[in-house]
Structures are given as C-alpha cells and as structure tokens.
Structure 1
C-alpha cells in the first residue's frame, strides 16, 4: 500500500479514536472506550509503516495537522460544538502550514 494511503488511514483512525474518547464519557462507556484503544493503536502502527517512506517531520505535520482539523470538524458534527470564523480561519492556517511543509519537504 502506498505510504500516503497508510498515512491517510492513520489519520482517519486517530480521528475516530479521539472522537470516541469524547464519547467514552471518561472511559465509562465500554464501546467508545474500546474504539479509543484500538483506534490509537492502529493509528500509530499505520503511521509507523508510513514512516518507512515519508520523512518524520512531514509525516507528523500531516498526521497532526489534518487530524486536528478533522477532529475539530467532527466535534461540530458529532457533538454540536461551536465553529466560528476565527476557529475556521485557524484551521485553514493549520492546513495551509501542512501543505507548505509538504511542498517544501516532499517524500524521499
């Protein structure tokens, strides 16, 4: 599987795990709590596989930046959290930063 596909799957599993962490209600709900443990484990494993082919700085920037943006959007959709212009602009800056690092660094 291509390295960036592995990284994308790592991001998705991390987002699911983080949103499940919120849904686990302090680990009192077993279903979401299990998703947290499995999701984070799978995410780190997939990211480790991606790191065989993508530089660590670029990998982590993409994983954390896009993960942050997707978790923020997921919080709005799944939990009714607020999104205002400042939050949206800040997320756009994160995504722009990740795109800049990607353009500057590239995979090896």
Structure 2
C-alpha cells in the first residue's frame, strides 16, 4: 500500500506541475484550480506514504520520478525540447533512485 500511496503522490504532483504551466502564472482560473487540488491530493498521499517509508527515500523517489515524468510531459504535451545535458542529468537522477532502492539498507 505504501508504494501505491507514493505512486499516487507522484502522479498528482506531475498533474499539478503540468497544469501550473498551463495556468500561465495563475492567470487562467481552471488550470489554477487543478494545480491547487492536485497538489493537495499529492501531499495527502505523500503523507500517507511517509507513515511507513523513510522520508529521504520517499522524497528521493517522489522527486526523481516526478522530474522524469514532468520532463516527459514537457516534451510530449508542451512540445519543449530537452538537450543532451538535460537528458544526462535526468538519467543520473534515475540511476540514483535505482541505486538507493536496490542497494541502500535505508529503503528497507
């Protein structure tokens, strides 16, 4: 259940971030409402995940996967480009999350 909660927190964080772009600085009311609701739901599920997952581990997974998924939204939805350094940086974040989850005793 803990990783389901964390996964939902990540999904709602990506939704919130994506709609933040669409809100154009909170000048469009509907995307702005989606941002607020998505982040409230996101932090609710993150708080549930934190009951059983260590803070550092949960936050690293949440932030790392959030970065990757938000970058994918920026490419596929907003048609923004990622250059080589951005892609390499994102890959390093993913590698860090994988190493932490498979090799660190902190995550267990």
Please state which band the TM-score falls in when normalised by the shorter chain.
over 0.9
Q: Which residue of 1 aligns with 2:98?
A: 99
Q: Which residue of 2 aligns with 1:29?
A: 28
Post-superposition shift, 1:69? Answer: 1.1
Post-superposition shift, 1:99? Answer: 1.1
- Identify unmatched segments of 5+ residues in structure 2: none
Query: Is 1:53 the equivalent of 2:49?
Result: no
Post-superposition shift, 1:86? Answer: 2.4
Post-superposition shift, 1:13? Answer: 0.1
What is the CA RMSD across the aligned residues, in angstroms?
1.0
Q: Which residue of 1 aligns with 2:70?
A: 71
4+ residue runs of structure 1 moved beyond 2 angstroms? none
TM-score scaled by structure 2? 0.93
More divergent stretch after superposition (34-43 vs 96-105): 96-105
Whole-Å Cα distance in 1 between the matches of residues 58 and 10 of structure 2? 10
Whole-Å Cα distance in 2 between the matches of residues 86 and 73 of structure 1? 15
Post-superposition shift, 1:90? Answer: 1.4
SS of 2:95's equivalent in the other structure is helix
Aligned residues: 106
TM-score scaled by structure 1? 0.93
